[in-house]
Amino acid sequence: MDPFFGIGKTHDRTVMKVFLSAFAVISSLGLASCGTGSQSSSSSGSYGRDYWGHRPGPKGFRTVILDAGHGGKDSGAVSAHNGVKEKDIALDMVKRIKSELPGYRVILMRSNDEFIDLDERVRLANKHGDAVLLSVHFNSGPSYIRGPETYYWRVDSHGLATRLQDAMEQVSPIEQSNREKVRRRLRLTRNPEIPCVLLECGYLSNVSEAQLANDARYRARMASAIAQAIKLQSAVGDAGTGSLPPPLNAPPSRPTDSPTS
């Protein structure tokens, strides 16, 4: 909407509505306060948003934001073995994970084949306070590497990342050269103000894993394992996931920093 629309007496009421709704959006994004300290939670949720994420992982959350990687003009990885596209099976995966989470409020970042910029995904995630974000991808690399990998950056995402990697490995065992759980600053692991992880559910560049990824029964098993890990994190928090990593004060990730596959 043109912000200068409606300046004039006959539109005063419209203008006021626009201002009020704009303020509501700004408030919901946490932009109304200038706090960027480690304890700058600003949410109606019980856990809330936090700029740095230097805190234990979440417990008791009931909102899960699922982000299917890529979409629209961005296909992500395309398997040279069977032509399966990352954007298509990532979308299939988030729908399956959602169906495994009855009783939770599950928000899909995209529910069809559309392109959403990464910064826009961060902005949408930050509208929610008492929530976790999972970005779901499939990987590509040297053909000998296979197995799932989990990326996280924030301290409050370590426990969830640990659970998710363990759960995915139960479905698709890792092999040598797989990076497993990786602390990496990406736009979807650093920039959201809620616990967030990026999952790579397997390598489309590996011939056997590309076949598995293209199998709906396999994706159902992987989705179920991921959902169980989310439920366990909500039930017990970080219990049993080991010691927390050190806090790191790194700036937000920018588009030029590091590409994701």
3-state SS assignment for residue 51: coil
Partners of 132 in the β-ladder: 64
For residue 36, CA distances in Å to 20, 130, 145 come to 24, 18, 39
Output 104 or 113, the one with its CB closest to Zn ion: 113
Is position 148 an interface residue for Zn ion (rule: CB under 5 A)? no
Q: Answer yes or no whether residue 141 interacts with Zn ion by CB under 5 A.
A: no
Q: Among residues 76 and 129, whose Cβ is nearest to Zn ion?
A: 76
**Tokens describing residue 93:** 């995966």
- Least separation in angstroms between residue 258's CB and Zn ion is 12
Beta strands in the chain (DSSP E): 63-68, 105-108, 131-139, 149-152, 181-183, 196-203
Q: Is 195 in the site for Zn ion (CB under 5 A)?
A: no
Among 76, 147, 159, 202, indicate the residue that binds Zn ion (CB under 5 A): 76
Q: Does 137 bind Zn ion (CB under 5 A)?
A: yes
* Residues 171, 166: Cα–Cα separation, whole Å: 9
Q: Which residue is nearest to Zn ion (CB)?
A: 137
Interaction with Zn ion in 22-61: which residues (CB under 5 A)? Answer: none
Q: Is 56 exposed, middle or buried (0-12, 13-18, 19+ CB in 10 A)?
A: middle
Q: Which of 48, 53, 58, 69 binds Zn ion (CB under 5 A)?
A: 69
The stretch near Zn ion (CB under 5 A) out of 110-118, 134-142, 167-175, 202-210 is 134-142
Q: What residues make contact with Zn ion under the rule CB under 5 A?
A: 69, 76, 137
